[in-house]
Structure 1
Amino acid sequence: MNDQVVLVDENDLAIGLMPKLEAHQKGLLHRAFSVFIFNSKGEMLLQQRAFGKYHSEGLWSNTCCSHPFPDEPTEEGAVRRLAEEMGIRTDLHFLFAFQYCADLENGLTENEYDHVFWGVSDAIPNLDPLEVSDYRYVAAETLKTDMQAHPENYTEWFKICLDEVLSKIESQKSGL
């Protein structure tokens, strides 16, 4: 397993490599991706991060998120990780990229230039238990209501980008 992340500047230009844990300890900006999968009913596939992960363990989040390997195109990394974590293969569509910084437990910081992708699949997830404890499909409005009532149950990046993800997906769907 490759534990190096690509350090980037504010324009997503690669400026170096660093072990993933060290980048999170130092709070350095690095490249990441987030994948949002919906079923044909329009429900979002959520994953519960595995217990034992070094941060955000047991929290609910988008379908998949990770970091591309050095020299790996970000979309290829997203496709690869979706198959590895969730056992799902489907076409992904680029949605947008954003930068965020969030303090996590254990003195760690997520400081990411995050590329967001989405896709549609009715495949039954085949979970990697080292990465994912559980999954569920949920309607967007139900998710937003629960997230407001219980924000402590969700990852920081998911809370930060959810509204923009839903808005931009609607825009892309109406343009198809």
Structure 2
Amino acid sequence: MEEVILVDDQDKEIGVMEKMEAHLKGRLHRAFSIFIFNNKNEMLLQQRAAGKYHSGGLWTNACCSHPRPNENIEDAAARRLKEELGFETPLDKIFDFTYKASFDNGLTEHEFDHVFAGIYSGEMNINKNEAENVCFRSMEEIESDLQTHPHKFTAWFSLAFPRIKNWKNTASAVA
């Protein structure tokens, strides 16, 4: 049985719940999203496996998941990146946000999402139970696709992308 960490709107832990129950009830829980860029400053996109419990076949950021009870969020992010895409790279936490999205199958994602970024341009060993495909795309291409074909992307990616773009622009201005 996989459990998620229930949190309040300040990310303070208030309990645990079985993952599917939390998604059926729309309970706020801790999660993370990882954004990976290559040495050309392109973003890694993952097409979720068709058999995922929601959003199957949609494009999204490199990796998303939930930390296990008593698992450090940074350790969970590194673990899941290795499990899904088969590589390791240093990750930096860049921001967090809360969102709520309901799906046609009756599930609701209500997450306090910790967002990490990293750089990687090497080989990947994709777990086909998690991802059907991956590709690197420029921020401009992704932004255009989000405007013309928003239905091809996950709900959380559409919400996080403008924040990632802002973060990238701010980081570039400082560099």
Contact 1:95 1:169 in 2 (8 A): no
Deviation by residue 1:125-147 (Cα, 9 ceiling, x = unmatched) = 21101101100110000011011
Question: What is the CA-CA distance between 1:75 and the residue it aligns to?
Answer: 1.1
Alignment-derived partner of residue 6 in structure 1: 5
Alignment-derived partner of residue 19 in structure 1: 18
Alignment-derived partner of residue 29 in structure 1: 28
Question: What is the CA-CA distance between 1:170 and the residue it aligns to?
Answer: 3.1
Alignment-derived partner of residue 170 in structure 1: 169
For the residues of structure 1 that align with 2:2 and 2:129, how far apart are their CA atoms?
15
Alignment-derived partner of residue 59 in structure 2: 60
Alignment-derived partner of residue 115 in structure 1: 114
For the residues of structure 1 that align with 2:169 and 2:106, how far apart are their CA atoms?
36
For the residues of structure 1 that align with 2:158 and 2:137, how far apart are their CA atoms?
15
4+ residue runs over 3 A deviation? 172-176
SS of the counterpart of 1:125?
A: coil
Aligned-partner residue type, residue 44 of structure 1: M
SS of the counterpart of 2:105?
A: helix
Question: What is the CA-CA distance between 1:173 and the residue it aligns to?
Answer: 4.5
Question: What is the CA-CA distance between 1:122 and the residue it aligns to?
Answer: 0.5
For the residues of structure 2 that align with 1:158 and 1:138, how far apart are their CA atoms?
14
Question: What is the CA-CA distance between 1:175 and the residue it aligns to?
Answer: 3.7
TM-score (norm 1): 0.96
RMSD, aligned CA: 1.1
Contact 1:101 1:111 in 2 (8 A): yes
SS of the counterpart of 2:54?
A: coil
Alignment-derived partner of residue 134 in structure 1: 133
For the residues of structure 1 that align with 2:164 and 2:98, how far apart are their CA atoms?
14
Structure 1 runs not aligned, ≥5 long:
none
Aligned-partner residue type, residue 118 of structure 1: A
Change (3 A) 1:165 1:72: same
Alignment-derived partner of residue 146 in structure 2: 147
Aligned-partner residue type, residue 79 of structure 1: A
Aligned-partner residue type, residue 129 of structure 1: K
Question: What is the CA-CA distance between 1:167 and the residue it aligns to?
Answer: 1.1
Structure 2 runs not aligned, ≥5 long:
none
1:161 aligns with 2:160: yes
1:47 aligns with 2:46: yes
Question: What is the CA-CA distance between 1:157 and the residue it aligns to?
Answer: 0.2
Question: What is the total number of aligned residue pairs between the two structures?
Answer: 175
Percent identity, aligned pairs only?
48
